[in-house]
Homo-oligomer: A and B are copies of this chain.
Amino acid sequence: MLVNGYPTQPLSGVITAMVTPLDRDCGVDYRGLERLVEHLIGGGVHGLFILGTTGEAPNLAYDVRYDLIEQTCKLVRSRVPVIVGITDTCHQGAIRVAIKAQQCGAYAVVAAPPYYFHVPPADLRHYFQVLASQLPLPLFLYNAPLNTPLWIDVDTAVQLAAEPNIIGLKDSGLNMGYLHAVREAVKGRPEFSFLVGPDELLAEAVLLGAHGGMAGGSNVWPHLFVALYQAARAGDLPRVGELHRQVMQFDQALYRSAAFSANPLRGLKCALACLGMMREHMTLPLRPYSTEERTKVEKFLKTVDPFAPPAGS
């Protein structure tokens, strides 16, 4: 699928933004990782995105990140592409993680803007151009304005899409107009991949032409998100409507208040722990859901079967 190192088709489908299973000391929980990888591939997802926001990447020590890359690639055995988050305030750190990803056989890397200093758009563009030129793997841009002080505005995204080593955009802003605008401007590169972050926007993104999503919810219920993607791809609107409502109920049950950007990943880890897939250890300053919140998640999980396709499939 790669010609001279570049893809000839956009990466498509459900690429799970994977939770990082951790042990008590915030190292990789190998058995949890194995269970999660098999759950996801068994659920039909089209790729794994490790070391993103959902993976708590900025909070993980580098040796843990390296270990996660190595173990995940080993467990996946090329069944699906693995893409690796390298977002970092330290440019050298980003490069080193990318080199590790390349050595382990990852498909591509993903970078959001560095998340400490506020710089002008021209300096952000320069940053990504330098980064792309130094990476051993193709790069997905990652617009993540809920977590980074800088966002990749439409003009910047369009200019960066002219770099051959930049092969796609993951948008985790909540404004679909942004993704529509960039897609319209980059239509001359049909192999450029447009993926949407939030669970609740997967359906409409695909209906209107995006290539898929990195929905965090697919960690728990991969079948649901794969079925929703396929229904949207096939233009089966009644089925999309039905599955989309299941996604809305799922999000409502797991993520609770949207006031804190950490809540979705707290909810996901809670659910995966309830399912016996891993323990609930998280990196500071993140903390597991309270007992009260966990009880609600448990109750909800009794109404769905994360290991089976949604009804009607």
- Interface of A toward B, CB cutoff 8 Å: 26, 53, 58-61, 89-93, 113-120, 123-124, 126-127, 130-131, 146-149, 174-177, 180-181, 184, 198, 200-201, 203-204, 207-209, 235, 237, 240-241, 244-245, 248-249, 251-252, 259-262, 283-287
Contacts and interface: CB of A to CB of B under 8 A. Distances in A.
A177 to B, nearest CB: 4
A61 B92 contact: yes
A59 B174 CA distance: 28
B113 A249 contact: no
17 contacts: A58-B116, A59-B90, A59-B116, A61-B92, A89-B89, A91-B284, A119-B285, A123-B287, A124-B285, A127-B285, A174-B176, A174-B177, A176-B200, A177-B198, A181-B248, A181-B251, A237-B237
A86 B263 CA distance: 26
Contact of A115 (B60, B116, B209, B248): B116
Copies of this protein in the complex: 4
A204 B113 CA distance: 28
A248 to B, nearest CB: 4
Given A175-B175, A177-B174, A284-B114, A260 B120 contact: yes
A120 B284 CA distance: 12
Contacts of A116: 53, 58-59, 115, 147-148
Contacts of A91: 26, 59, 283-285
A248 B12 CA distance: 23
Contact of A58 (B59, B90, B286): B90
Contacts of A126: 284-285, 287
A90 B60 contact: yes
A124 B287 CA distance: 10
A176 B287 CA distance: 28
A201 B178 CA distance: 10
Given A175-B174, A177-B174, A287-B123, A248 B184 contact: yes
Contacts of A115: 115-116
A252 B284 contact: no
A127 B177 CA distance: 31
Nearest to A184: B248
In the complex, which of the residues A60, A127, A184 has the most CB atoms of chain B within 10 Å of its own CB atom?
A184
Contact of A180 (B92, B208, B244): B244
Contacts of A283: 90-91
Contact of A237 (B127, B203, B207): B207
